[in-house]
Amino acid sequence: MQPPNDKNFPARVYAGGSGLPGPDAVEGAEPVLVSDIVTFAVEYRLFVLDGEVRTGSRYAARGDLDVAPLAEDPRRAEVLAFAERPAGSGLPRAVVVDVGLVDGSGWAVVEANAVWAGGHYACDADAALDVVLRAARPEAEFGASDHPFLRPVPEAVRD
């Protein structure tokens, strides 16, 4: 369980409702993602721009850090084939999508992240930067598909 927009509390398994974060962590109307408990055999980070995976990296195997460029991974073709589905489905034009192979169930999206909030592991740094720069352009340059994901700049940061 975790909030989809900010990391206000850690994503983890909660044993029961009494252990859930309270109003100090999230507002009452804040959506929270809830999932069945799954075990990922392997997980990947993908930098996606305009629905196309620009670079990717394996980052975990069986929950342990296991970093390798996607180009060197034996499941590269499977990862890219699966990524074609979420990459074109209502996401911002520039986004980081984590996907993984769930034991006994197949491929699943782990989460989507803001591009400036995710490490690039063994991704091609130049390709990852291209995606980050697309997400960091002036507000007037964002298309209609990006507008639902834009948030106002906090008052303390404005000029």
Confidence at residue 47, expressed as pLDDT on a 0 to 100 scale? 96
Asked whether the beta carbons of 71 and 51 are under 8 A apart, the reply is no
For the chain, strand residue ranges (E) read 40-49, 52-61, 64-69, 94-102, 106-113
Asked whether the beta carbons of 30 and 20 are under 8 A apart, the reply is no
Confidence at residue 1, expressed as pLDDT on a 0 to 100 scale? 47
Confidence at residue 45, expressed as pLDDT on a 0 to 100 scale? 97
* CATH number of residue 92's parent domain: 3.30.470.20
Looking at the structure, tell me whether residues 13 and 78 fall in a common domain.
no
Please give the Cα distance from 158 to 102 (Å, whole number).
43
Phi, psi of 110 (to 5 degrees): -80, -55
Q: Is residue 153 part of a domain?
A: no
Please give the Cα distance from 136 to 50 (Å, whole number).
14
Looking at the structure, tell me whether residues 58 and 78 fall in a common domain.
yes
Domain count, the chain: 2
Looking at the structure, tell me whether residues 54 and 115 fall in a common domain.
yes
Per-residue pLDDT of the chain (159 residues; tens, 9 = 90+): 455 556 667 777 877 777 777 777 766 676 666 778 899 999 999 999 988 999 999 999 999 999 999 999 999 999 999 998 765 567 888 999 999 999 999 999 998 888 888 799 999 999 999 999 999 888 889 888 888 888 777 777 555
Confidence at residue 43, expressed as pLDDT on a 0 to 100 scale? 98
Confidence at residue 14, expressed as pLDDT on a 0 to 100 scale? 79
Q: Is residue 158 part of a domain?
A: no
For 100-133, write each residue's pLDDT tens digit.
999 999 999 998 888 888 799 999 999 999 999 9
Q: Is residue 80 part of a domain?
A: yes
Any idea which residue has 């620009």 for tokens?
54
Domain that holds residue 79: 38-138
Coil, helix or strand for 48? Answer: strand
Looking at the structure, tell me whether residues 118 and 133 fall in a common domain.
yes
Q: Is residue 4 part of a domain?
A: yes
Please give the Cα distance from 45 to 113 (Å, whole number).
10
Confidence at residue 156, expressed as pLDDT on a 0 to 100 scale? 73
Looking at the structure, tell me whether residues 95 and 117 fall in a common domain.
yes
CB neighbour class for 13 (10 Å; exposed up to 12, middle 13-18, buried from 19): exposed
Looking at the structure, tell me whether residues 26 and 70 fall in a common domain.
no
